[in-house]
């Protein structure tokens, strides 16, 4: 239990349903769908799509999503991969011939096909109860009426708005000015798009006038996208991958997502007695940083589109974890792994919903960098992701850019299971940080017995190519000890990630937790 004399927030307890996400209006919209008789899938779609307006720098219908769905207690968990592919004509060789070593972040080359809309349509059709029109209704209303800009959103908007170009400046600025806290922000063009999706399903987005608007914008900038690329966009339905940590099961999305990185990181940490350490001390931060360097290096070498990846079993193996753990000096920091040949991974939103029947949804949804590619369609204002910058241009690499491939993706929803039963859908935002965040939350819960809200509140550290980032929550003596071990310490420019979780107690009571690093909250009924 938290100290009520110190700043903090209480978990939210409810019986009938809970949504936890990074903006309160989205959480409320999701819960309103539950009260209408919708299920967790209906509610998660409602909240997620609204976040494209409430947090436009993070997500939108021009982006991708991944979801884990537990249809009922004890049922097999389903993994929905709503990540888009590169245009058929895209080839790394063409970019290398232009003298490029990485995919340009803010050009049409980085724009992969938006996959989220097809995933939402598929989820609604297969597992929803109310139908897509009801799920999209809250977002349509808010897109027309507008929402007040929240504090963290305003902070990010100010930091990221410089990438906006062309029509995007008209759609995402107020007469060239960054919206301030409390300003009303609207996206009426996207309201019209959502009405068409509600009426016509995926065809309202991937065909007809909306698709033509997206195509015209991208092709005018030199994009290789064709109508056939949009029409062919389909999500993939499969099974999650899993790993064990101290007797508990972590469910993650299979590649092209980086969930395997979180499992590998925990497999390395299992080789050490983490529970015997101070949860906020130097020794734990050091071991986590060293394990993360090794796990992320493996990710960078091998992770790719499932069609081009051959090392998944190796990344999940105890043998690899043993080998990597043996490289860690408990007293001395190693050099950072090799520099990435693809863009550093950035921003996203996460939403989780559990309903009265205990269907659980863990969903993550993103346009990659702040405001994605910075390019928006002329008429409808659909902001395009720059996920194509997650490809490498290195010849022969499994994650090499190629036509029709999916890039290595950072957004990863997760679920915790105990005894074969899903007990906690959760996710950690923060792009690159996400596998490290999953491992830290798992360790906070399991090694240190924290409740979900405390596990999210706890200070974070993250080993990057530039040094070890430490949030201000770490004590001065811990910083000094880490510096003595050889870590190059950095204070992050913004909080490290965000997170949400819903714990499903054996009693049936739901416990929702939401990260104070964002504007959001958990809401239940």
Whether the Cβ atoms of residue 138 and residue 32 lie closer than 8 Å to each other: yes
Residue of 271, 338, 270, 267 lying closest to 302 (CA atoms) = 338
Q: Please, are residues 462 and 496 in contact by the beta-carbon 8 Å criterion?
A: yes
DSSP, collapsed to helix, strand or coil, labels residue 367 as strand
Q: How far apart are CA 478 and CA 259, in angstroms?
A: 29
Element holding 152 (H helix, E strand): helix 151-160
Contact 438, 414 (CB under 8 A): yes
Q: 348 catalytic, yes or no?
A: yes
How many other CB atoms are found less than 10 A from the CB of residue 420? Answer: 8
The DSSP line for 174-203 is: BTTBPPPTT-EE--HHHHHHHHHHHHHTTH
Are the beta carbons of 294 and 337 closer than 8 angstroms?
Answer: yes
Cα 272–277–279 angle (5° rounding)? 115
Give the alpha-carbon dihedral of 265, 271, 273, 279, to 10 degrees.
-10
Marked catalytic residue, from 348, 352, 423, 446: 348
Q: What is the distance between the alpha carbons of residues 32 and 36, in angstroms, rounded to a whole number?
A: 6
Closest CA to 113 of 227, 270, 278, 251: 227
CA distances from 44 to 47, 338, 360 (A): 5, 38, 10
How far CA 85 is from CA of 82, 241, 409, in Å, comes to 10, 22, 11
The answer to whether the CB of 19 falls within 8 A of the CB of 124 is: no
d(CA 442, CA 432): 17
Give the C-alpha separation, 504 to 362, whole Å.
13
In the chain, the largest separation of any two C-alpha atoms, in whole Å, equals: 62
Cα distance between residue 291 and residue 461, in whole Å: 12
Q: List, by residue number, the catalytic residues.
A: 348
């Amino acid at each position: 239990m938290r100290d009520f004399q110190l700043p903090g927030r209480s978990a939210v307890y409810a019986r009938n349903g809970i949504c936890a996400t990074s903006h309160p209006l989205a959480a409320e919209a999701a819960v309103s769908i539950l009260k209408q008789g919708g299920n967790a899938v209906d509610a998660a779609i409602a909240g997620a799509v609204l976040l494209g307006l409430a947090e436009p720098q993070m997500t939108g219908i021009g982006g991708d999503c991944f979801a884990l769905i537990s249809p009922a207690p004890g049922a097999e968990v389903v993994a929905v991969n709503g990540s888009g592919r590169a245009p058929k004509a895209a080839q790394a060789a063409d970019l290398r011939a232009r003298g490029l070593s990485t995919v340009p972040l803010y050009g049409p080359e980085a724009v992969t096909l938006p996959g989220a809309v097809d995933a939402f349509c598929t989820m609604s059709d297969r597992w929803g109860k109310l139908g897509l029109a009801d799920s999209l209704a809250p977002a349509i209303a808010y897109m027309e009426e507008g929402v007040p800009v929240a504090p963290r959103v305003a902070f990010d908007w100010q930091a990221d708005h410089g990438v906006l170009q062309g029509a995007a400046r008209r759609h995402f600025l107020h007469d060239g000015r960054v919206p301030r806290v409390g300003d009303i922000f609207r996206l009426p063009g996207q309201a019209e798009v959502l009405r068409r999706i509600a009426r016509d399903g995926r065809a309202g987005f991937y065909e007809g006038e909306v698709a033509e608007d997206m195509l015209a914008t991208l092709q005018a900038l030199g994009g290789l996208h064709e109508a056939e690329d949009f029409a062919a966009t389909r999500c993939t339905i499969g099974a999650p991958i899993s790993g064990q940590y101290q007797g508990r099961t972590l469910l993650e999305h299979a590649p092209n997502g980086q969930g395997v990185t979180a499992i590998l990181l925990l497999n390395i940490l299992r080789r050490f007695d983490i529970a015997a350490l101070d949860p906020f001390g130097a020794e734990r931060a050091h071991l986590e940083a060293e394990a993360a360097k090794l796990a992320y290096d493996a990710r960078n070498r091998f992770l790719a589109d499932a069609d081009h990846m051959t090392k998944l079993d190796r990344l999940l193996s105890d043998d690899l974890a043993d080998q990597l753990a043996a490289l860690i000096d408990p007293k001395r920091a190693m050099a950072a792994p090799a520099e990435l040949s693809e863009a550093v991974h950035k921003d996203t939103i996460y939403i989780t919903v559990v309903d009265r029947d205990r269907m659980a949804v863990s969903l993550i949804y993103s346009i990659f960098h702040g405001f994605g590619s910075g390019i928006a369609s002329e008429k409808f204002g659909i902001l395009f992701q720059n996920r194509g910058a997650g490809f490498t241009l290195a010849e022969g690499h499994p994650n090499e850019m190629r036509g029709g491939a999916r890039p290595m993706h950072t957004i990863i929803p997760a679920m915790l299971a105990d005894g074969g039963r899903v007990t906690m859908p959760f996710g950690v935002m923060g792009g690159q940080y996400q596998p490290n965040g999953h491992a830290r939350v798992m360790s906070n819960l399991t090694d240190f017995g924290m409740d979900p809200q405390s596990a999210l509140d706890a200070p974070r550290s993250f080993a990057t190519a530039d040094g070890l980032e430490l949030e201000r929550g770490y004590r001065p003596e811990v910083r000094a000890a880490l510096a003595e071990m050889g870590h190059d310490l950095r204070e992050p420019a913004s909080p490290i990630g965000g997170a949400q979780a819903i714990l499903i107690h054996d009693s049936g009571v739901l416990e929702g937790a939401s990260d104070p690093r964002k504007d959001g909250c958990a809401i239940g009924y």
